[in-house]
Chains A and B, each alone.
Chain A
């Protein structure tokens, strides 16, 4: 059945009409093209009257195919498909001919532009002729969300989703939730204590009945698709039964391994082998660090079994829980599967702690050259010095302290090319915290630029300079060396054009925020894209800032790029609202532009030869292997199958398939060849 096709050519103001003779394009579309029964031009097809024109003409002229010659389909394909749907036509009979981005904007010359536009429109007319009716794919939704990461981003997203009445599963790989924010002393620009504003949220999360919390756990695998994920969670052996333990603290008080560097204190303080990371930990129940625990060390190195009387079992002995003790050395990793509808990734960042590439800053050799997060722990009341600023080497209160900004950041040669965004502010805060605690101390900051673009941020750093008296030196540091118990810092001040030499007691490096070490592996597990710095990518930097490249997976916080707490919380809220929109429907409608591997009657079953090249190229993990079985259950052949829920319609599989067994709906071979054949090559 031949179609009645309408061609609507848009002027786009003068964007198209300045370089393309739109009237001629419309006229030519009708010539030698028996299927085209109606053509017109309009100033703005995307405007309300433009859409009305489309709707009216579909009805009046009885059109069953439409070509809109306008801008990129990325802009308004959706608009015109909706309009035609309203007029009672299958929306997938609408094709867009891109006259703006692909023609008028790139060709200065009107005759050439017009000629090319005529070709472009004819190509789309030919494609439209072969358009088949497609219907949206409906997928059921599991109304539960997974939040990966228990820092401030994850906590905020989980609370927002749970408060709306949906179940949330939170997975945190450390022994407690809290993340980096729990480590901070005070927060800019208000200088309120980080833990004071953080712990109420942590407690709220722990008490929320809609939230199921897995700490000391990691994501093993994510299968399935939007609305229907199957998530495997590895619950690492904690060696402590969370249901039985009351967090009485007896065990970590008797633990003989007391000199283990605390990760929470950025290695400035010590912890025991059975420990809670910090006093306000949630859950406030310990974990045994099997690498350092004497019992496990003996078992590993000397092959002494855990039940031998010679090994250290002090924690078990002291545990007051009866009759079954809360400590269980025989616990093993457990794999749990959860059914999930939508996922929020909030896995956070890692501070650049290895500065060995910066020989000029001591290359990580000097004890009194510390990082920003280490300074946070020094300044924190819960830190190793209980909030007194003491230098790590000898506990002396530094009289002169030097801060160096952009360590690792804005250094494409050795570190990262990007700006870590938070360091200007936290360094200004550090100078204030220091001056509040050491009144007659001197704070010097080496900087390249001051980037304090945020509400009340500029005022905050100026306060550090004008009221607290921090001295900012515009330049870099060339060398730090030891002289007696001092660290001599050599640098520059480009504003005076001079070299600077400061005899300091302590140096703080404002280290870059980096992606987690395992970010790349993790992204591959979830099939989400990431950038060159291993930060997870949003689909659109402006208009889709929390959507990952995989449908149903959203991003929150610093796993997507460096950001501060206010921004992280806002993004977490945004991710939560996207999750809630998904979970609010019982069924989801998805674009039917998906690939399909053919199925034929016996004895062929499918032309697929089972090479699975398609599986290798699919960026979304949408291709599965399927056994075609005989009645007796024996496998006749193994062929590819596309999971419609995961497929994003990119067409890589169709292009790769050697036996032409894959068809992409809306872009099948017949359509693409019809487009190509319609071009008149001169």
Chain B
């Protein structure tokens, strides 16, 4: 894909917006590539992690928010831990995911991942923790193509008591709810 940078992008406030939302100052990044070097999922990404930072630096909003990379990031935080300039790259990916969802531009190829994230959060919202069974059933219901994926390990997990049909709610569900209220 060809990218063209013009005065419009360069003058845009994208980096500033990211900084206001997350406190992450991408200007600090000097593009050494340490993040990309250590990323365990970089081989699957369409843009390398350092390129995503570069997009933010140069105001390339569209390229950053529609990338698959932000969804493929596994949040292992190796990049943030190793960054010599202390740029929180994994956290940056989080902000970009949020912004992508808000603007409805999240990459359609990674819909599985967005659905999974949502199912995960829904479960936390409802029970204060993950109910693996119900989370997965929501995910597979919304992404029917994945219905038979990994299905064979289900019974084994159940036999070992790892996939309970009845959700176990936590005690402080109200506090969890308040968190969700706050960040609506």
A residues bordering B, Cβ < 8 Å? 400, 442, 444, 462, 465-466, 469, 471, 473-474, 493, 495-503
Determine the interface band of chain B, counting residues with CB < 8 A from chain A: 20 to 34
List the A residue with the shortest CB-CB distance to B53. Answer: A495
Q: Is A503 in contact with B7, judged by CB distance below 8 angstroms?
A: yes
Find chain B residues with CB under 8 A from A444 CB.
10
Tell me the B1-38 residues at the A interface (CB within 8 Å): 2-7, 10-11, 25, 27-28, 30-31
- Inter-chain contact B4/A496, CB cutoff 8 Å: no
Shortest beta-carbon distance, B86 to chain A, in Å? 12
Is the CB–CB distance between B27 and A465 below 8 Å?
Answer: yes
Let me know if B25 and A466 touch, CB within 8 A. yes
Instruction: Give complex CA distance A495, B55 in Å.
Output: 9
In the bound complex, CA of A496 to CA of B25 (Å): 18
Give the residues in chain A near B27, CB-CB below 8 Å: 465-466, 469
Contact assessment for A493 and B11 in the assembled complex, using a CB-CB cutoff below 8 Å: no
Which residues 32-47 of B sit at the A interface, judged by CB distance below 8 A? none
The answer to whether B54 has its CB under 8 Å from any CB of chain A is yes
Q: Which of A442, A466, A499, A500 contacts B11 (CB 8 A)?
A: A442
Is there a chain A Cβ closer than 8 Å to B51's Cβ? Answer: yes
B31 touches which of A462, A474, A503 (Cβ 8 Å): A474
B-chain residues with CB within 8 Å of residue A500 when the two chains form the complex: 4-6, 10
Interface positions, chain B 47-70, Cβ under 8 Å from A, are 50-51, 54-55, 57-58, 60, 63
Closest chain B residue, CB of each to CB of A491:
B5
**A442 contacts which chain B residues (CB < 8 A)?**
10-11
Closest to A450 in B: B30
> Judging by beta carbons under 8 Å apart, are B4 and A499 in contact?
yes
Cβ–Cβ contact A501 & B58, under 8 A: no
With contacts A462-B30, A471-B57, A501-B5 known, what are 9 further pairs, Cβ within 8 A? A444-B10, A496-B5, A496-B58, A496-B63, A497-B3, A499-B3, A500-B5, A501-B6, A502-B7
**A231 → chain B closest CB, angstroms:** 51
Complex Cα gap A444–B59 (Å): 13
The answer for the CA separation of A499 and B9 in the assembled complex, in Å, is 12
Indicate if the CB atoms of A400 and B31 lie closer than 8 Å. no
Write out the residue numbers on chain B whose beta carbons fall within 8 Å of the beta carbon of A495: 31, 50-51, 54
* Residue in A444, A473, A495, A502 with the greatest tally of chain B CB atoms within 10 Å: A495
Residues of B within 8 A of A474 (CB): 31
* Complex contacts, A465 vs chain B, CB 8 Å: 27, 30
User: Are B10 and A502 in contact, with the CB atoms below 8 A?
Assistant: yes
Whether the pair B57, A499 counts as a contact (CB closer than 8 A) is: no
- Nearest chain A CB to B163 CB, angstrom units: 44
Quote the shortest CB–CB distance from B9 to chain A (angstroms): 9
B60: chain A residues within 8 A (beta carbon) = 496, 498
- Which residues from B are CB-within-8-Å of A501? 4-7
CB-CB nearest 5 A-B residue pairs = A498-B3, A500-B5, A501-B6, A495-B54, A503-B7
Give complex CA distance A469, B26 in Å: 11
Contact in complex: A498, B5 (CB < 8 Å)? yes
Q: List chain B residues, Cβ under 8 A from A497.
A: 3, 51
Complex CA distance for A443 and B119, rounded to whole angstroms = 45
Shortest CB-to-CB span from A478 to chain B, Å, is 13
Q: How far is the CB of A100 from chain B (nearest CB, A)?
A: 42
CB distance B3 to A496 under 8 Å? Answer: yes
CA distance A653 to B154 in the complex (A): 95
Bound-state Cα–Cα, A66 to B37, Å: 61
Contacts of B30 in A (CB 8 A): 462, 465
CA distance A495 to B58 in the complex (A): 11
How far is B7's CA from A400's CA once the two chains are assembled, in angstroms? 9
The answer to whether A493 and B7 have CB atoms under 8 Å apart is no
Chain A nearest CB from B31 CB (Å) reads 5
**Chain B: which residue is nearest A462 at the CB level?**
B30
In Å, the complex CA distance between A465 and B15 comes to 13
Look across to chain A and name the residue whose beta carbon is closest to the beta carbon of B27.
A466
Q: How many Å lie between the Cα of A525 and that of B90 in the bound state?
A: 64
A661, B6: Cα distance in complex, Å: 75
Provide a sorted-by-A list of 14 A–B residue pairs whose CB atoms are within 8 angstroms: A400-B7, A471-B57, A473-B58, A474-B31, A493-B54, A495-B31, A495-B54, A496-B5, A496-B51, A497-B3, A499-B4, A501-B5, A503-B6, A503-B7
- By a CB distance below 8 angstroms, the chain A residues around B4 are 498-501
Q: Which residues does chain B contribute within 8 Å of A462, judged by CB atoms?
A: 30
Residue of B at shortest CB range from A469?
B27
Q: How far is the CB of A453 from chain B (nearest CB, A)?
A: 15
> Judging by beta carbons under 8 Å apart, are A493 and B25 in contact?
no
Distance between B13 CB and nearest chain A CB, rounded to angstroms: 12
Complexed CA–CA distance, A497 and B54 (Å): 10
A474 CA to B54 CA, complexed, in Å: 11
Name A498's closest neighbour in chain B (CB-CB).
B3
- Cβ distance A400 to chain B, nearest Cβ, rounded Å: 7
Set of chain B residues within 8 Å of A400, measured between Cβ atoms: 7
A473 contacts across to B, CB distance below 8 A = 5, 58
Residues of A within 8 A of B10 (CB): 442, 444, 471, 500, 502
C-alpha gap A493/B28 in the complex (Å): 18
- Tell whether, in the assembled complex, residue A493 and residue B6 are in contact, meaning their CB atoms are under 8 Å apart: no
Interface residues of B in 98-143 (CB under 8 A from A): none
Bound CA span A503–B10, Å:
11
Closest residue on chain B to residue A502 by CB atoms? B7
User: Which of A400, A474, A498, A503 has the most CB atoms of chain B within a 10 A radius of its CB?
Assistant: A498
Residue of B nearest to A470 (CB): B27
Question: Of all chain A residues, which has the CB nearest B52?
Answer: A496
Distance (Å) between the CB of A266 and the closest chain B CB? 28
In the complex, A444→B58 CA distance in Å? Answer: 11
Min CB distance A504 to B, Å, is 8
How far is it, in angstroms, between the C-alpha of A34 and the C-alpha of B5 when the chains are bound?
A: 85
